[in-house]
Structure 1
Amino acid sequence: MTATGRTTLGARLRHALGAEDGMSTVEYAIGTIAAAAFGAVLYTVVTGDNIVDALTGIIDRALQTTV
């Protein structure tokens, strides 16, 4: 293979391997949406009556224990 052929092959390989321009932006957008959705679900669960009552009970028991 000639030097020109190696250069062309190298350029093709670099282009094929690096052809995902813009993918990181989409990945960040999907990750941001997923994180926001997870935060909304977590907020809903944590602020629900059952969780608040359970956490209050745990804290009350912890404060009432004798050392």
Structure 2
Amino acid sequence: MGAEPAGPGGGGGGGGLGRSADRGMTTSEYAVGTIAACAFAAVLYKVVNSGPVMSAMQSMIEGALDAKF
């Protein structure tokens, strides 16, 4: 008796544009996310290639290779 078919959202009641408009990211959001990821990678590259971090990593790797088992 009068049961509505389920809409795209899984519940009854039509599931109009209001529900599906917030699904996923738009192209501009992908662009901003990509730029932020590239900026973070550039900063991380600069930090890892700096003198103090490079020498600390080198001494840590040398210590690991010289470890006695």
State the TM-score bracket (shorter-chain normalisation): 0.5 to 0.7
Correspondence 1:1-67 to 2 at 5 A: 10=14, 14-19=16-21, 24-67=26-69
Please report how far the alpha carbon of residue 16 of structure 1 lies from its aligned counterpart in structure 2 after TM superposition. Answer: 3.5
Query: What percentage of residue pairs aligned between the two structures are identical?
Result: 44
Larger relative helix fraction:
1
Residue type at the aligned position of 2:58? T
Q: How does the TM-score come out when normalised to structure 1?
A: 0.66
Structure 2, unmatched stretches of 5+, are 1-13
Per-residue deviation, 1:64: 1.5
> How many residue pairs were aligned?
56
TM-score norm. by structure 2 comes to: 0.65
Larger Rg: 1
Quick one: distance in 2 between partners of 1:64 and 1:25? 50
